[in-house]
Structure formats: C-alpha cells, structure tokens
Structure 1
Amino acid sequence: MSLTFAPVELRVALVTGAARGIGLGIAAWLVAEGWRVVVADIEQERGAKVAAALGERALFVALDVADESQVESAVAQVIGQFGRLDALVNNAGLATAQGQPLESLALAEWRKVLGVNLDGPMLMAKHCAPYLREQQGAIVNIASTRARQSEPHSEAYAASKGGLLALTHALAISLGPEVRVNALCPGWIDARDAHVREAEPLSATDHEQHPVGRVGTVEDVAACVAWLLSGNAGFISGEAITLDGGMTRKMIYRE
C-alpha cells in the first residue's frame, strides 16, 4: 500500500500532557516544523498560556485522559476546529519520584496511575482512530525505560509503561495499514522548567555516567517523535525505541 502525506502546514497533531516537560517540548517542536498542534492537558491555566505562547498554530484543549467523556469531547473539539487529525502523541502520565513500598501501595493509587498511563492512551486511540485512518496518520506513545527495568517501589509506574508497550504493538496490528503506532522509551530526560534547570543544574556525574556524555533533553525526545510522525518513518510500526543515551546498555557493577 502506497501512503501519501499532506503538506506539513495542513497537518494536525494532538499532544496530551503538553502543558509542561516532554509534552511541551514535543508541542513546541512540531509547531516549529509547521504543524498545527492541539495542546491537551488537565492543567487548564498553564495549558492555555502555553498554547498562547506557541502562537496561532496552537490550540489548548482541557483534558483528563482517564475520563472517557472528556476524551470524546476533546476529540470532537479538535475535529470541529480543524476538520482533521493526522497524529496523536500520548504523553500524559503520572509518576512519583519515590513510589510506595508494595506492602503499603493502595489499590486506589495503583488504579490512578494505570488510569492515566494506560487507560488514557487506549481511550485516546479509540476515539482518534477513525480520524487518523482518514489521514493515514500515526500514533506515538511515550513509554519509559522503566517498562523494561525498575528501581524499588515502582510497581504501578512500571506496570503501566510495560502495558503501554504491549498496547503499542496491539494497536499497530489493529490500526494498520492506515495508521502506524510506535512507542518511545525515554531514560533520564531533564524535563524541568528552564528556571529550575538554571537554579539547580545537574552535576558533572549526572552527565558523565551516560555513554553519550550527557543527560537527555526534551528536544531529544521531540526530534524523535517528529521523525516517527513523518513519512521518513513510514516503514516503522509496532516498535518501541529506547532513547536513553545508552544507559540501559551499560553494565554496572558495585566496586
């Protein structure tokens, strides 16, 4: 099947969790490439400010990805505004710096994390699929290296991201050939706001422990997302690409 792609300036991408961090970086990168971008986020005040700062090519939509009625409404709003949808980036997610020990992990907390990190991408794909099919579009799911390796007390987060990798290849088979679906597994990405990065810079050790010599940036992730959404990645689907500066390939022994 031969795929044709609309000019970039006509294409529309919906990015969830785009009010800050990696999602904001992805939205900004796509706008700079000429896409029209829907900034979707549960943080309404910040999300609206981000969309305004990104300019006339950006639109803010309030959205809790774990709420199916909100997902359905948001997608309808996008189609009503633009009449099409070419790309979905499932970036919205919950994570905590230090999770709960298994013995004290509440079922409600487990379900909350999976609701956003796994139910959310499924619901977004479900309601975006008809429009993505029309445009021979693409989905990129933002997973994590924690889908394949863990630190202590990360059961909910790891399970949600591992499930997202399985969801990725399932969607690729179900939605192909019209829609390609891939995942990215970022490692350590310094996704803090600029003023925080300046006030609290990472240490030399933070950077030097990476085989590439530095911690990742939101631009590293955004560039890869943009490539996966482009026609240059037209033969890639169902894949999970690790983006971690080589850290998960590094053998580490205690001295």
Structure 2
Amino acid sequence: GIQPIWCDLSSEESIRAAVAEAGFEQLDLLVNNGGPADPVAGPLEEMSLNDWNSWIAPHLNGSFLMARECMPYLRAAKGSIVNMTSTRAYQSEPDTYGYAAAKGGIIGLTHALAIGLGPDVRANAIAPGWINSTGDVLSGEAHAQHPVGRAGEVEDIVDAVVYLSGAGFVTGQVLTVDGGMRRRMIYTA
C-alpha cells in the first residue's frame, strides 16, 4: 500500500527528513506538485516579502529541494522528474505575482534539470489550465469556453504524468494540458 509522508515544502529540513523517512533505494518518478493553489495575492503595494515567499518557497524552492534530495535515488533508477507548472506561467490575471513567478521559475528549473541531469535523469513539466480538482459542478459556460468542450479533470493530468514518465526521448519540455485554452483568442467588446 501507499504510505503517505508529510513534509513542509518550504523547509529544507522537512524535505530532507521526509526523503530519509521514505527509505528509497531507487526512485522511478518524482512528481513535484505542491504549494498553495489560490494564485491571488492582492495589490502589489500591499504584498509583503512573506506573502511573496508563500508561493515561491513551496512551489519553486520545494521543487528544487525535492529534486536535489531525491537525486541519488532517481539516478539509480534512471528515473524522471515531472514538475507541475501552470498556464499562469504564460498568462496572468491581476494580483497573481508570486504564483505566476513561481510557476515561471519552475519552467526554467525544468529545462536546467533536463540539461544538467541528462542522460541519467529526465525532467519535464506539465502546465495545467483549468482543472476541476475539487469535483465542483461547473456551468455549461465554464465547459464551453474550452475548445475541447469541457474543463479539465484530475485524470487528464494523471494521463500526462504517465505519458511523461515513460517518454524516454522527451526531456526539458513543458506539456500544456488546458483543453486548448492557450490557443484561443478571447476578446471582450
């Protein structure tokens, strides 16, 4: 069975302890997918450095620290890393500074890992769009705005992780899983 191990992704000591507790001999896949999901910070003038770090530390620093601590086990397995970024790394709504910066940083970290760790370990990222991770009932309008006719589901991201974990000739890439929304021009007039 699966044994969950909890850690604070903004803490180097917590991550180090969690990886030690896991007792890996080798690790086939590391998926970095942690941190606050709400991207809205409020007005920039009211944002403190602690507010900023509440996104940067778990998302970006946590991905770096998890990769670093898991590296011996990933190398032993010739494994791969899948980092979770976001379409918000490419496009923003007002007051989403820390989240957008963290997710953009994950893209840079991903290609740096791919180049620095290859050929032993591959590193890719997934940029989800609107994923209904809470199972809420969404309006028809919410679904219809996506070119595929629906918002994303958790299974769509799982499928992408499975693909990237086994795609031996793919590294340093960002796979956008957003139902085509980044390709759609949206104007209000």
Aligned to 1:19: none
Aligned to 1:72: 16
- Is the Cα–Cα contact under 8 Å of residues 216 and 244 in structure 1 kept in the other structure? yes
Among 61, 76, 101, the alignment partner of 1:159 is 101
- Is the Cα–Cα contact under 8 Å of residues 110 and 123 in structure 2 kept in the other structure? yes
Moved over 3 A (4+): none
Structure 2: gaps (5+ residues): none
Q: How large is the Cα RMSD of the aligned pairs?
A: 1.1
Using the alignment, how far apart are the partners of 1:246 and 1:108 within structure 2? 35
- Is the Cα–Cα contact under 8 Å of residues 172 and 180 in structure 1 kept in the other structure? yes
- Is the Cα–Cα contact under 8 Å of residues 95 and 113 in structure 1 kept in the other structure? no
Among 36, 43, 50, the alignment partner of 1:108 is 50
Aligned to 1:89: 31
Among 76, 84, 89, the alignment partner of 1:147 is 89
Aligned to 2:143: 207
Using the alignment, how far apart are the partners of 2:40 and 2:120 within structure 1? 40
1:120 aligns with 2:33: no
Structure having the higher strand fraction is: 1
Deviations 1:183-240 (A, max 9, x none): 0000000000x4xx2xxx100000001000000000000011011112xx10000001
Aligned to 1:187: 129
Among 62, 66, 71, the alignment partner of 2:6 is 62
Q: Which amino acid aligns with 1:252?
A: I
What SS does structure 2 have at the residue aligned with 1:216?
coil
Among 127, 142, 154, the alignment partner of 1:218 is 154
Aligned to 2:80: 138
- Is the Cα–Cα contact under 8 Å of residues 87 and 129 in structure 2 kept in the other structure? yes
Q: Which amino acid aligns with 2:12?
A: E
What SS does structure 2 have at the residue aligned with 1:181?
strand
Shift of 1:109: 0.6
Using the alignment, how far apart are the partners of 1:96 and 1:106 within structure 2? 17
Output the TM-score relative to the length of structure 2: 0.97
Aligned to 1:237: 171
- Is the Cα–Cα contact under 8 Å of residues 28 and 78 in structure 2 kept in the other structure? yes
Using the alignment, how far apart are the partners of 1:177 and 1:239 within structure 2? 15
Q: Which amino acid aligns with 1:151?
A: E
Shift of 1:97: 5.5
What SS does structure 2 have at the residue aligned with 1:222?
helix
Q: Which amino acid aligns with 2:160?
A: C
Using the alignment, how far apart are the partners of 2:115 and 2:57 within structure 1? 23
Deviations 1:110-164 (A, max 9, x none): 0121001100000000110111001000000010000011000001000000000
What SS does structure 1 have at the residue aligned with 2:5?
strand
Structure 1: gaps (5+ residues): 1-55
Using the alignment, how far apart are the partners of 2:138 and 2:29 within structure 1? 33
Output the TM-score relative to the length of structure 1: 0.72
